[in-house]
Every structure is written in structure tokens, then in C-alpha cells.
Structure 1
Amino acid sequence: MSRLRDSVPPDEVGTTTVATGADAVATPPAAPPRRRRFRTHLLVFIAPAAAIYTVFMVYPLLDSLRLSMFAPSDGGQVFVGFDNFVHLLTDDLLASAFWNAVWNNLVFFAVHFFVQNPIGLLLAALLAGPALKGRATYQALLFIPTTLSVVIVGFIWQLIISPIWGFVDTPLLGQSSTALVTLALMSVWQYIGIPMILFYAVLISIPDELTEAARVDGAGGWSTFWRVKFPLLLPTVGVVSVVTYVANMNAFDLIYTVKGALAGPDFASDIMGTFFFRTFFGFQLQEGSSTMGATVATMMFLLILAGVLLYFYGWQRRVESYQL
């Protein structure tokens, strides 16, 4: 090898010599990788969406965080740091109302998580069945409630479960023990089409070869679903779960439509959204405060952020995704 290297002419220094037996082939050195230039024309498409998102989402969020650290004083505002948060969590009236709203929000989310998402998965599995006829009709019927106005949904369900006009003898919305769960089930009925469509989109993208191979190995329909299809659904299960969490921690419209800002009876259906509304704008004898309302909004943001971070670091990094 050393003799072969000494025999290379000076003008070919820097080339790579590959020898096989008595033969040698000189190849030029590999060119350094070219640095990809940033496509500046993409900014033309990104800038409008980024500007709208910044104006209507980022700026209000940052301004709420700033406002939560101020308090009214002599017609103006004075910086108080985290005093508003301490007052929110230690004051007898505010703290009890705040923790009641947080607990109700978690219950509201739990009903959606354990009722809406499993039923949505079941409906998606049924719709993805190869022997089902009229699939498009069923999809439309199940998804139509999602497109309805919350006011219409609340009004219809109040008539359906009314002891006077409806089919239920018990005032479900008038009892503290059943009001919140009843409202959550009304919301489940309206939005069950969203997880159904997400799960359905993944199920129909699973290659038929996988299910056919499972059937050849003797697996039944139930075993094929849990051992072949469900592992492929796990990333979507995580996405649906975190979307459900964010949506329900931001819930407001249905409860406000049906029960008003007081979220009765006796604040049994009060959630973070209605508690924020009363704190910021005031209601009846309660005086509103923009700074304390911003503090409640900041706590809502922190609770939502905690759930999203738990999803990213506790779920997404542990679930393996497959290319279908």
C-alpha cells in the first residue's frame, strides 16, 4: 500500500486510491455538502398568518400576564408583583370559588375523556368496517351536532330533560349533584363527532395487508383491533386527549348559555370560564376587576400549559409512531 501511495503523481495528491489486488482506482474527494439556502419566498405565505396570530393571540396573552401583576390605585395601576396570585389563593371567598371552579373543570374534562373519546373511537371503528352500508350518511348524522350553535344545543336539551316538557321527571339541571355531569354529557353529545373523525381518518389509512395477515394467523375481529389497529392509534389517542383537555379547560359557552354567569345551582356547575367572567366583568353585586380577572386568566393558562407539557413529555415521547 505504501508503494502504491508513493507512485501517485504529484498532481493527483488529495485523491482517494482504492486498491484491489494489483489494480488501483483513484477517485476524487467527496465534495463538501452544500448549505441549503433559506427560501425567503416562504415568508410571504407565513407572514400574514403569523401577524394575525400575534395580534389576536400572542399579544393578548402577554398583556394578560402583564396586567396580572398590577393593581388599581388612585385611578391608575401600580405594580404589585405576585400579590394578586397570593390574594387569589389565600382569600377566603376567592380561593374557595377558584378551587371549586378548578375541580369542576377537571370533572367536566373527565366526563369528556372517559365518555366522549371512547364512544368516538367505537363509532369510528364501526364506520371503518368494510361491510357497513350507508357510511357517508352515518358520518354526516353523527357530525351534524358539532356544527350546531351552542345556544340551540342548550335550548333543545333543556326542553328534552325538562320535568315539565321533556322525558325526565328529575330536574337534572336543578340539582347540585347532577347539574355539572348533565351539562358535560350535553357537550359530549355535541362534540363527539370530532374524536370520531380523527380516529376514523387513521383507521381507514391502515393498510389492509396488516389486518389480512392477522386474520390468516387466526386472529378474530376483536383481537385484530386491539393488537394491530389500536397500537397504530396511540399517537392519535394522545392528540385527541390533549385537544379535549385544552378545549374543556377553556369551556364557557354552554354553561353560560344554560346556567348563566352564576353557574348554579349554588355554583355547582361553575368552571374557570364562568369564574373568570364574573371576576373580570363583574356580575350583579360582584364588582369586576380587570387585574384580578387577568390573574384568573393567567392561572387558566398555567393549568392548560401544565397539561400540554405533561402530554409532550409524558406521552408523546413514549409512544412510537408508525408510517402508514
Structure 2
Amino acid sequence: MSRPLISTPPGETGDPATTAGAATVPRPGPVARRRRRRFRTHLVVFVAPAVAIYTVFMVYPLLDSLRLSLFASRDGVQTFVGLDNFVRLLSDDLLAGAFWNAVWNNLLFFAVHFVVQNPIGLLLAALLAAPKLRGRATYRTLLFIPTTLSVVIVGFIWQLILSPVWGFVDTPLLGQSSTALITLALMSVWQYIGIPMLLFYAVLVSIPDDLVEAATIDGANAWTTFWRVKFPLILPTVGIVSVITYVANLNAFDLIYTVKGALAGPDFASDIMGTLFFRTFFGFQLQQGSSSMGATVATMMFLLIMAGVLLYFFGWQRRVESYQL
């Protein structure tokens, strides 16, 4: 009895001769399959509104400010002058003195926050992370409440507290050139100490208990455990908090303007880059405003901030070892 003939398509198992003569088509590998994937357009839909808002209110003003710093108004016409505005800002007798005074005050304002605010925030976070502490949620809320207050309210309250007439001190701390800036910096520390506290607290509570228990078994006390076990693990967060503090303090303006006004008295002792920019750009009292010089001051602020951020990235972040908790 003869067997029926079955037609086998090329490339499938069947007649050996047919199979041998069929061309083998390789399947696309994972790289080729990834290349063929369609672009996820829904991601653009979700990201586009945020990018558009950030571009309109952040990127464009920054670029326009950089552009404006290269121009000067001559006979009512904006004329390109290159770096002449920067040369004038750094060499003119009146402008240079005010600029370097503001830069020095800004760095001192940041130093007070770096030396006082961040260590106290770390101490409070370590206390809140203690396993035997009761009512930690209440303490966290009370310590963070000043951060949510309006800077106008904070400035007004501290002016009343520090007033020699009806306050708690006999010395006019806000009225003396030697103490005005330090006092304003400490007022800012009191208001914003909750931010580094929460950042440090979030990292401390994420440290595994096994590491702490192992250090305790080896005979380490609470102080040794913190500095030898916990602190090396939160070093990356220390760097992040430091650079956030630097950027925020070089952009400071509202508290000093609320308490001391645009002149940042007494005798410009509390003048910082923000108040100098305000007076230069908008003018104040008898001082005539200049949009070009104001943009030049703003550009110098941007360059100082960028220098500090680059120093953090290349001088700190690359040398600190991060651990996966």
C-alpha cells in the first residue's frame, strides 16, 4: 500500500532533502527586538506639561537674564556691550564695593546655616530616630511647623522678641552692624531647621537594625555606634543637604527684605546678593534702576551657585562611597 505524499513547507521538519535544502532564517535577537519597540508617546504626554512650565518660568528667564547682562541701555536703545557690565561691576568704586560686601555677607550667611543648622538638624534627627523615643510624630510636627510659616510672620515675631523696648533682650541685635547679619541668619536657622532634620531622619530610619545590633554585641555604645556605623552611611545625605543649603542661602532675599528692607541696614551690614540685585534692577529711593546691571548681578549669583554645585559634584560626591541600605 503506497504512502500518501505530504507536502512539507520549507524550513519545517519533514523530508530530509527538503529540510536540508531550505534556507534557515535566524530569529531576531533581544537587541533587534528592543530596537523595533515603538516609542512610548504617552510618556511625552505626561512629561510635556511639567517641561513646558519649567521652561517658561525657569529656563527662559535664566537665559534671557544671561542675554540681558551682555547689553546696556544707551539713549534708550539696548546695545550689545559684551562683558563691559561685568568689568564695571567688578571695577567701579561704588558697584564693586557693594558687590563684594554682598558676596561676603552671603557666604557668612551660608556659613552660619552650615555650622549651626545642619549639625543641629542631624542631632534632632538622631534623637527622633532613637527606638525608645515616645511621641516622635508629635516632635517631628512641632519642629517642622516653623518651616511652613510665612516669612513675614517669622520676621515680625522675631522683631518683637528682639526689640529692646518690649522684647526679651536689652541689646538691639538687629540694629548693630556687628550683630545684624548673624541674628538674621539664626532667625533663618530657626525657621528652616526642619528641612535638614527630616532629610537626615529619613536616612537614619532606613539603616538596618542588624548593623546596630551587631555593633552593640561588639561592645559599642550609642555614641560609637552613631559615628562608626550610622554616620558613614549618611555621608552622601550630608553632602546633599550641604549643597541644598548653599543654593538656598545664595538665593536668600525674603527674610532680610522683610526685616531690614531693601537697604539691608544698618549701613548695608546685612546686604546680600538678593537685596543688591533688587536695588540694582528695580532701583530704590534715589538709586535709579538698571535692568542690564541687575541682570549682571543675577548672572554673578548664578555663576557662584554653579561653582558651588560643581565643587560638590567633583570634589565631594565622587569621593564619598554610597551604600545600598
TM (norm. structure 2) is 0.90
1:101 is the counterpart of 2:102:
yes
Matched, 1:174 2:175: yes
1:301 counterpart = 2:306 = no
**Percent identity between the two aligned chains:** 85
| Structure 1 unpaired stretches of 5+ | 1-9, 12-27
Matched residue, 1:54: 55
Paired with 1:322 and 1:203, the residues of 2 have a C-alpha distance of 13
Deviations 1:264-293 (A, max 9, x none): 000000000000000000001100000000
Alignment match, 2:217: 216
Once residues 147 and 35 of structure 1 are traced to their aligned partners in structure 2, the CA distance between those partners, rounded to angstroms, is 47
Determine the C-alpha separation between the residues in 2 that align with 1:313 and 1:171: 43
Take 1:212 and 1:32, find their aligned partners in 2: how far apart are those partners?
45
Distance 1:165 1:234 in 2: 44
* Deviations 1:196-246, CA, capped at 9 Å, x for gaps: 000000000111011001101111101110111101100100110000000
SS at match of 1:205: coil
Answering whether residue 242 of structure 2 is matched by residue 238 of structure 1, we say no
> Residue deviations 1:107-151, cap 9 Å, x none?
000000000000000000000001111101100000000000000
SS in 1 for 2:79: strand
Find the residue that maps to 1:266 and give its secondary structure. coil
Distance 1:308 1:208 in 2: 34
* 1:269-318 Cα distance to aligned partner (Å, 9 max, x none): 00000000000000011000000000000000000000011111111111
Residues in 2 aligned to 1:78 and 1:30: alpha-carbon distance in whole angstroms? 60
Name the structure 2 match of 1:74.
75
2:84 paired residue number: 83
Give distance in 2, aligned partners of 1:283 and 1:276: 11
Q: Which amino acid aligns with 1:246?
A: V
Number of aligned residue pairs: give it: 301
How many angstroms apart in 2 are the aligned matches of 1:32 and 1:198? 41
- Cross-structure match for 1:35: 34
Kindly indicate whether residue 308 of structure 2 is the aligned counterpart of residue 315 of structure 1: no
Q: Could you say which residue in structure 2 is the equivalent of 1:283? A: 284
Shift of 1:40: 2.7
How high is the TM-score relative to the length of structure 1? 0.90
CA separation in 1, counterparts of 2:28 and 2:295?
A: 59
1:259 counterpart residue number:
260
**Structure number with larger C-alpha Rg:** 2
What SS does structure 2 have at the residue aligned with 1:41? Answer: helix
CA distance in structure 1 between the partners assigned to 2:275 and 2:170 by the alignment: 28
SS of structure 2 residue aligned to 1:265: coil
Mapped to 2, the partners of 1:245 and 1:270 lie a distance apart of 17
The one-letter code sitting in structure 2 at the alignment partner of 1:290 is: S
Distance 1:153 1:88 in 2: 34
Are 1:114 and 2:115 counterparts? yes
Partner residue, 1:18: none
**Cα distance between partner residues in 1 of 2:219 and 2:92:** 64
Rounded to whole Å, the distance in 1 between the matches of 2:119 and 2:126 is 11
Question: What displacement does 1:39 show?
Answer: 2.6
Runs of 5+ consecutive residues of structure 2 not aligned to the other structure: 1-18, 21-25
The DSSP-based 3-state class of the residue aligned with 1:288 is coil
1: CA distance, partners of 2:192 / 2:224? 29
Q: Aligned partners of 1:167 and 1:141: how far apart in 2?
A: 23
CA distance in 2 between counterparts of 1:30 and 1:128 reads: 53
Give me the whole-angstrom Cα distance separating, in 1, the residues matched to 2:74 and 2:269: 34
Q: Counterpart of 1:151?
A: 152
The secondary structure found in structure 1 opposite 2:34 is: coil
Measured after TM superposition, the shift of residue 30 of structure 1 is 10
2: CA distance, partners of 1:29 / 1:92: 75
2:34 aligned partner, one-letter code: R
Query: Equivalent residue of 1:117, what SS?
Result: helix
